[in-house]
Amino acid sequence: MAEPQANGHGAHWKGVAPANDDEDIIPRDIRFGILENPTRHWLDGDFHKTALINGLSIFLPEGERYFIRALKYYAPRLADRQLAAEINGYAVQEAFHTREHEEYNQALGKLGYDVEAMEEPVRETLRSDKIPIFRLAVTCAIEHLTATLSTVTLRNPQFLENAAPAYRRLWMWHALEELEHKAVALHVFKAATPKYSGFKRYMLRTMAFNAVAWTFLVITLRNLTLFAKADGIKTGPRFWARLFWVLFFAPGYWRKCAPLVLKYYLPGFSPLNKDDHDLIRKGRDWLYREFTALEAASAPAVPAAE
């Protein structure tokens, strides 16, 4: 596929591979142009659906820098050079994610949201971790959450069917790449703890997950109120009832995520699922078709022959 640098949609892309590409981790340098075209309530015109997903972006720039540091600390210490190479592919993917979500969050600022106030507890929490193995355990926990969200997104593309196109492309791209590299952190964790008993390794990763899940919940609920305040929406009983409905019934984000999330507590948990290959192929095919169509739509018209 050609690699156009820009088009009228405010996006450019590199490395959008066809669906049959056999590489495991493919960094894709794609710009989505969200900063140039910020959209309020971009999903179904619905505050709750949009704010929940926008809230994920609040975590990501600081979080992805944290992940890269956590894994790169161990890269030169690994005897498995293939795994060390996967860390490099992982880091490049996460660097592109960081760039796009920094612009995404700047776009939220342009819409009047207090992004600085939303990001502050994320920075404070992640910058407080100083012990390398704990940073790695936290990275594994967060990667499991993001992989779960990505799996659910790729299994249910209808969730984003009525999204503004640039936002839909960004979140489908992000979901695909999270699924491609979802096993890297846990494999590094296992390689970095050869002297740990199975019980000690299990306790460290699950306790880290408990801390991550609680912190994520607290910050997410707090930031939802900040999104609502900026939009002039009251956060009374009807607000929280609507949130409950979106999470558990329609579309039921948490209802679909919970079974996958809870698998992390299984002693023999593996990050690899039997349907990963098909989901990754499905995501690659979607992305390739989407950007091929976008390229065709943005190409200059060819004058008709006389």
pLDDT attached to residue 11: 52
- pLDDT by 10-residue block (mean), the chain, 306 residues: 38 61 84 97 98 98 97 94 94 97 98 98 92 97 97 96 97 97 97 97 98 97 98 98 98 96 96 87 94 83 60
193: in domain: yes
Flag whether 263 is in a domain.
yes
Q: Are 215 and 183 in contact (CB under 8 A)?
A: no
Residue 95 lies in a domain: yes
Domain presence at residue 302: no
The per-residue pLDDT for 273 is 80
Which residues span the domain enclosing 77? 43-294
Burial of 36 (0-12, 13-18, 19+ CB in 10 A): middle
Rounded Cα distance, 37 and 265, in Å: 41
pLDDT for res 294? 87
Q: Which residues does residue 14 pair with via DSSP β-bridges, in sequence order?
A: 29
For the chain, how big is the Rg over CA atoms in Å?
A: 20
Sequence letter at residue 85: A
**Amino acid 128: pLDDT:** 87
pLDDT of residue 122: 97
Q: What is the per-residue burial (b if ≥16 Cβ within 10 Å, else e) of 217-256?
A: eebbeebbebbbebeebeeeeebeeebeebbeeebbbeeb
Asked if the structure places residue 304 within a domain, the reply is no
Residue 7 located in a structural domain: no
The CB-side HSE value for 305 (13 A sphere, CA atoms) comes to: 0
Is residue 220 in some structural domain? yes
Domain tally, the chain: 1
- 252 in a structural domain: yes
- DSSP codes, the chain: ----S--TTS-EEE----TT---S----EEE--TTTS--TTTBTT-HHHHHHHHHHHHHHHHHHHHHHHHHHTTGGG-S-HHHHHHHHHHHHHHHHHHHHHHHHHHHHHHTT--HHHHHHHHHHHHHT---HHHHHHHHHHHHHHHHHHHHHHHH-GGGGTTB-HHHHHHHHHHHHHHHHTTTHHHHHHHHH-TTS-HHHHHHHHHHHHHHHHHHHHHHHHHHHHHHHHHTT---SHHHHHHHHHHHHTSS-HHHHHHHHHHGGGSTT--S--TTHHHHHHHHHHHHHHHHHHHHHHHSPPPPPP-
